[in-house]
Amino acid sequence: MEAIRNVLVTDVTGAPSTRHRLVASTDWDEVQHWSKQVYMPYDAAPVGLVRQPDSVLDAIRIGHFTLSRFSYGVPVHLTGFAAEAGTGMVLTTVRGAIRHWSSGREYADTGVGEAFLVDNSRTHYWLDADPHHLQVNLTFQHDAMAALHERWFGAPADERMWARKFRFGGAQSSWISLLSYVCRCITEMPDAVEQGPLGRHLEEMIGLHLLTLWRQQLESPQEPTVHRLVPRHVLLAEQHMRDHAQHAPTLSELARSAGVSVRTLNAAFREFRGCTPMQCLRDIRLNGVRAELLVASPQTKVRDVAEAWGYANLGMFAASYRNRFGESPSTTLSRR
């Protein structure tokens, strides 16, 4: 999953990269403008008390596919995907969880390593994403997929097939293996993926893999309702992180607050959040610093905010901040 999680935001040496960055913003209109360019027109609304996004969107073309790495940074409800755009999506969850709705009562939850396939030009669909969500998505053109089906299978696809939307994948699945290979190619050879025959090769492999899954789904459809409840100890640990983020609680302290062992807490976070508890805490702390920098008074210095959040080594703090947000703390402060 590491290759998928870091695609488009690190280069071949592992250093942070913004080569494929379209937007990194807390402005809702700006985020929506770019996300609608990459995906299709749709309606998005924040859920809960936090209304301002903390969003990063990176993208690259692979033939007719657009591969993107995207998060709103807040819980969101997405609906009203425009059928006239003639596009569909494959949403692969790399952090957090997403609930994909098929109807008023039927839904499928995707956790880390799981994906959901939907042709928005042929069926209604909406989703709810939790505050930790991060996806690597593939947007495709229906006409291109239909032509690929006819070329490989010798006949047009059954129209009922396009209306199927379903969950698939998993940590050890062929989909994750294929997507990892695609992401490694992007990281190591981005120019060849965007402009050379390698990109056409990847486009064909991705498309054929998805069409094969679609055909299987038509013959043996999966049960649409899959409910994955995040364990209570994960939620308790996350609440403790939010309440005490400025004091940088230890892993042992988080485990005690959740009423479980360190080992159990680590395993649960890896399964349901795709990261360790301390990685989650790091993101919460950095998000807190960023939020303060964006509303700081003109006299405020980066050092003041960092020290208030318990960062003693400003060099390490700045490096972590840049790796997380793709810009320095001082740059964020200048945009307050």
pLDDT at 228: 55
For a pLDDT cut of 90, what percent of the chain falls above it? Answer: 41
Mean pLDDT over 302-324 rounds to: 87
Looking at the structure, tell me whether residues 190 and 330 fall in a common domain: no
Give the tokens for residue 278. Answer: 């301390």
Query: Is 226 a domain residue?
Result: no
Looking at the structure, tell me whether residues 30 and 172 fall in a common domain: yes
- CA gyration radius, the chain: 21
* pLDDT tens-place string over residues 112-155: 889 999 999 999 899 998 888 999 999 999 999 999 999 999 99
Mean pLDDT of the chain: 88
Looking at the structure, tell me whether residues 253 and 288 fall in a common domain: yes
294 compared with 75, residue with greater pLDDT: 75
pLDDT at 225: 42
Domain closes at, from 219, 251, 270? 219
* pLDDT tens-place string over residues 52-98: 888 889 999 999 999 999 999 888 899 889 899 999 999 999 988 89
pLDDT at 105: 67
Looking at the structure, tell me whether residues 262 and 124 fall in a common domain: no
102 compared with 49, residue with greater pLDDT: 102
